[in-house]
Every structure is written in structure tokens, then in C-alpha cells.
């Protein structure tokens, strides 16, 4: 095949060879532009537009937070001093159902450590969210280990009063 192409090339007149070289170069440059350069430019434009949209959302969220700042802090429930342990224990009994904590330990006046074994990950997340939203208690630290069954974890939490 290569020998045939070289033989055909040798039979071309010098003027025809120049035309083939120019046409091949033009075709190569066109393909590079259409297959490489243009997709890169389009991707960059799409990412820039997505970034602009995300920035606009962030600015709007900051505006909303500024408007609601004092009101949002006042509406959040607070846990009275000394009641954190009782609040967490009561919430665990109500919110965790079939997977009660294996251990609840008070640490200082503002912290409670909770150990929960083999709990469904989704249930744990739901419970932590309810604690923060309804009781004013947030998770300061959460350590998770994979449980024996799929979708289950062993959790160690440090819970504190939301300030």
C-alpha cells in the first residue's frame, strides 16, 4: 500500500504535489480546529457560565443570611444548662427506635458523647439533623466505622449545645 502511494506520488507533476500538500495541510488544520480546539473552548465557556451561576447563588444566599441573621439565631431552640444529657437521652429513645445508643456519657457541662453500634447510616443522619433542628444540639464530631451489614455503621458522636 505504501509503495503504491509513493509510486502515485512520484507520477504527480510538481504543481499537483503542491496542491496535495496544501489541501492536506488545510484538512489537518480544519480537523484540529473542529475536533480539539472548538470543544475545549466550548467546555471552558460552559464551566465559566456554571461558575458565574454558582457565584450568583452564593451572593443571594449571603444576602438572605444577612436578612435572616438575627431572626434565625433567635428562632433556634436552646438547651438549658444541665439538661443536655437528658435531652440527648430522650431524643435517642424517640428518634433511634430499634438501635438505642450503647453508651451515653456526659463530658463537662456542654458536651455529651454517644456511642451507637450497627445503626443504619440514613437513620443516624436523620437523628443528628433532628437534634439540631428541634433540640438545638449539634454534632461537634462524628467518627464512623463500617458496620458488619451493608448500610450500617458504628458511630461515636460528640454532641454540644448549638450556640
Q: What's this model's pTM, rounded to 2 decimal places?
A: 0.49
Please identify every stretch of the chain with a pLDDT value under 70, giving residue numbers as ranges: 69-82, 163
Q: What is the pLDDT of residue 75?
A: 54
Across-strand partners of 119? 153
Backbone angles phi and psi of 28, in degrees to 5:
-65, -45
Q: What is the pLDDT of residue 86?
A: 82
Q: What confidence tens digit (pLDDT) does each residue in 71-96 have?
A: 555 555 554 545 788 888 888 888 87
**C-beta of residue 79 within 8 angstroms of C-beta of residue 128:** no
Amino acid at each position: 500500500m505504501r509503495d503504491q502511494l509513493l509510486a502515485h506520488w512520484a507520477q504527480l507533476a510538481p504543481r499537483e504535489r503542491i496542491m496535495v500538500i496544501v489541501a492536506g495541510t488545510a484538512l489537518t488544520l480544519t480537523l484540529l480546529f473542529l475536533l480539539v480546539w472548538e470543544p475545549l473552548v466550548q467546555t471552558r465557556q460552559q464551566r465559566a457560565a456554571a461558575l458565574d451561576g454558582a457565584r450568583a447563588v452564593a451572593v443571594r444566599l449571603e444576602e438572605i443570611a444577612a436578612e435572616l441573621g438575627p431572626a434565625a439565631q433567635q428562632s433556634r431552640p436552646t438547651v438549658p444548662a444541665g439538661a443536655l444529657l437528658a435531652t440527648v437521652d430522650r431524643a435517642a429513645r424517640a428518634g433511634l427506635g430499634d438501635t438505642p445508643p450503647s453508651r451515653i456519657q456526659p463530658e463537662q457541662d456542654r458536651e455529651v458523647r454517644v456511642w451507637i453500634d450497627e445503626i443504619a447510616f440514613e437513620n443516624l443522619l436523620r437523628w443528628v439533623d433532628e437534634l439540631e433542628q428541634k433540640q438545638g444540639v449539634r454534632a461537634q464530631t462524628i467518627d464512623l466505622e463500617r458496620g458488619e451489614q451493608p448500610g450500617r455503621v458504628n458511630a461515636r458522636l460528640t454532641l454540644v449545645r448549638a450556640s
